[in-house]
Amino acid sequence: MQEKNGRSGELVYKVIGIIHSPFKRNVGIPIQPTASQAEGWVEVYKEYEDGLEGIEEFSHIILIYHFHLIKKAKLKVVPYMDTKPKGVFATRAPSRPNPIGISTVKLLKREGNILHIKNVDIVDSTPLLDIKPYVPQFGDDIRIGWLEDRINRLKKTKDDGRFS
């Protein structure tokens, strides 16, 4: 919504489901899906089940969700795998002005309104905002900035609760 001064107003999204995982707290969770072997499931609310038609044809899906445990937004954060502050928009840290998360997970199977997934890096009972199919060919000429010389630490790095 656009106001007269050009600044955006408040937006409201509908929660379309709940993400379930073995992670009950936001400590000790792998910090990216590729660092996780954990399985979970997505419960899409029944009124949105028709929107899942054809999703089982994809091996991976992108989950867009609300970081419901984040209490305060920060514009500067010390991200995982670094010791120096960065602007939050140059990180994937959850403590954001709009606490929206994205994870690309492996879709194991669909059973009605339930999606069984793998590579979960999301705390249990996280509100789901949207789902999109993952298509790797939609990306090209990718650079990873300050993470370039740190990406090898990904599988060993876990959430330490710094953004709780």
Is residue 39's pLDDT more than 90? yes
Q: pLDDT value at position 98?
A: 93
Q: pLDDT value at position 25?
A: 85
**pTM score:** 0.80
| Range list of β-strands (E), 45-113 | 60-66, 76-77, 86-87, 100-111
Torsion of CA 26, 30, 33, 37, to 10 degrees: -110
- Could you give all domains of the chain from N- to C-terminal order, each with its CATH number? 18-72+96-140 (2.40.30.70)
In terms of phi and psi (left: phi > 0; alpha: psi -120 to 50; beta: otherwise), the region of 161 is left
